[in-house]
């Protein structure tokens, strides 16, 4: 779905932990740069290529991948996409996420308890899905992501109309939202979800630090926001500022 000139919200069907769902990475371009915000689950590179072709921005033109945070559903197809592009694709993320993205620290949500639970759950899956999950985890062991550019709070990337980086710790320590200055679009990552058409905070149980997450949402009230793109839930354009103020109790 086109949100503004050079801003396309992709809508990619994906098999999530709780069943089938849709992920909404954002595609940005300006004639020189083509940037993707977040990279789906492992194995989704062909879906990205198709969706980008539909937006008339072929994946071969990709120059940068900006990661809002290190969760698997945001970084999974990054390496696969890099491999499908004939030139280097720069990876950008906040300093607080780098060790998790680069595999130097265990992903925050992958505690031994969670891993054991997943193993248990996988036993009850139909053979085909269980094999797909195993293949996914195996493929992850063989890929190494390198972050080329570390992002800081308040930094503005000088392409695609100006992309302001907003450090919004809470969901993860180095989570960022992106504010597109030209179209007043907020790419929320997992700081905000859209659930049944309503803009809501990320569910507390998936946040590393819930009070931090709320403080981060307060930070967003300083921006003039016409549209929010939530990675989980998609577009919200019905007075986002009013709704965010309501959420933070301002
Ligand atoms: Zn997510």
pLDDT tens digit sequence for 184-236? 999 999 999 999 999 999 988 888 888 889 999 999 999 999 999 999 999 99
CB 248 within 8 A of CB 221: yes
Across the range 84-101, mean pLDDT stands at 96
**Poorest-confidence range of 8-12, 106-110, 160-164, 190-194?**
106-110
Model pLDDT, residue 120: 79
* pLDDT at 17 (0 to 100): 72
Helix (H) or strand (E) run with residue 91 in it: strand 90-94
CA 13 to ligand 1 centroid distance, Å = 14
- What tokens were used for 87? 């030139």
Mean pLDDT, residues 15-33 = 91
How far is ligand 1, taken at its centre, from the CA of residue 153, in Å?
20
Quick one: average pLDDT of 48-68?
A: 97
CA–CA separation, 103 and 91 (whole Å): 14
| Cα 120 to ligand 1 centre (Å) | 22
% of the chain with per-residue pLDDT over 90? 75
- Say whether pLDDT at 160 is over 80: yes
Name the nearest CA neighbour of 234 among 9, 7, 8, 71.
Answer: 9
Report the distance separating Cα 112 and Cα 120, nearest Å: 12
* pLDDT given for residue 250 in this prediction: 61
Kindly give the distance from the C-alpha atom of residue 41 to the centroid of ligand 1, in angstroms, as a whole number: 10
Q: How far is the CA of 231 from the centre of ligand 1 (A)?
A: 7
- Helix (H, G, I), strand (E, B), or coil: what is residue 31? coil
pLDDT in tens, 99-112: 999 988 888 877 77
**In Å, how far are 46, 55, 90, 221 from 8, measured between CA atoms?**
17, 7, 20, 24
Query: What residues have their beta carbon closer than 5 A to ion ligand 1?
Result: 71, 73, 190
Residue 239 confidence (pLDDT):
96
Give me the sign of the Cα torsion angle 58, 59, 63, 66: positive
User: 123 C-alpha vs ligand 1 centroid, how far in Å?
Assistant: 24
CA of 157 from ligand 1 middle (Å) equals 23
Other beta carbons within 10 Å of 33: 18
Q: What is the pLDDT of residue 123?
A: 79
CA of 199 to the centre of ligand 1 (A): 15
Question: Which is nearest to 27 in space by CA: 43, 47, 51, 60?
Answer: 51
The average pLDDT across 165-190 equals 97
Cβ contact 213:191 at 8 Å? yes
Distance 233 CA to ligand 1 centre (A): 10
Report the separation in Å between the CA atom of 23 and the middle of ligand 1, taken as the mean of its atom positions. Answer: 8
| Mean pLDDT, residues 75-104 | 95
CA distance 233 to 21: 9
Determine the length of the chain.
250
| pLDDT mean over 44-61 | 96
Cα 100 to ligand 1 centroid, rounded to whole Å: 15
For residue 4, how far is its CA from the centre of ligand 1 (angstroms)? 23
Ligand 1: centre distance to CA 48 (Å): 16
Torsion of CA 247, 190, 70, 140, to 10 degrees: 150
Give 119 or 27, the one with higher predicted confidence. 27
pLDDT at 5: 96
Pull the structure tokens for residue 36: 């993707």
Sheet containing 227-230: order of strands: 156-157, 163-167, 176-180, 185-189, 227-230, 234-236
In which residue are the tokens 């997450």 written? Answer: 213
Rounded distance between C-alpha atoms, residue 111 and residue 37, angstroms: 26
Alpha carbon of 146 to ligand 1 centroid (Å)? 20
How high is the pLDDT of residue 96? Answer: 96
Query: What integer pLDDT is reported at residue 208 of this predicted model?
Result: 84
Using the mean position of ligand 1's atoms as its centre, give its distance from the Cα of residue 74 in Å. Answer: 6
Mean pLDDT of the chain: 92
> What is the pLDDT averaged over residues 5-34?
93
Query: Does residue 114 have a pLDDT over 80?
Result: no
């Amino acid at each position: 779905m086109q949100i503004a000139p050079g801003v396309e919200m992709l809508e990619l069907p994906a098999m999530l932990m709780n069943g089938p769902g849709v992920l909404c990475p954002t595609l940005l371009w300006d004639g020189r740069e083509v940037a993707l915000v977040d990279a789906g689950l492992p194995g989704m590179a062909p879906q990205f290529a198709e969706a980008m072709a539909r937006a008339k921005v072929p994946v071969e033109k990709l120059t940068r991948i900006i990661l809002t945070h290190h969760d698997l559903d945001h970084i999974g197809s990054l390496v696969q996409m890099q491999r499908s592009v004939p030139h280097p694709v720069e990876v950008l993320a906040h300093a607080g996420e780098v060790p998790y993205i680069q595999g130097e620290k265990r992903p925050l949500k992958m505690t031994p308890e969670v891993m054991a639970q997943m193993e248990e759950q996988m036993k009850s899956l139909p053979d085909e899905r269980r094999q797909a999950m195993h293949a996914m985890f195996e493929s992850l062991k063989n890929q190494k992501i390198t972050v080329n550019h570390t992002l800081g709070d308040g930094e503005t990337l000088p392409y695609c109309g100006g992309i302001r980086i907003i450090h919004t710790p809470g969901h993860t320590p180095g989570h960022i939202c992106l504010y597109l200055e030209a179209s007043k679009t907020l790419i929320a990552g997992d700081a905000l979800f859209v659930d049944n058409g309503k803009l809501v905070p990320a569910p507390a149980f998936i946040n590393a630090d819930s009070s931090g997450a709320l403080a981060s949402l307060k930070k967003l009230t300083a921006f003039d926001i016409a549209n929010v793109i939530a990675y989980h839930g998609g577009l919200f354009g019905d007075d986002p500022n009013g709704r965010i103020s309501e959420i933070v109790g301002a």
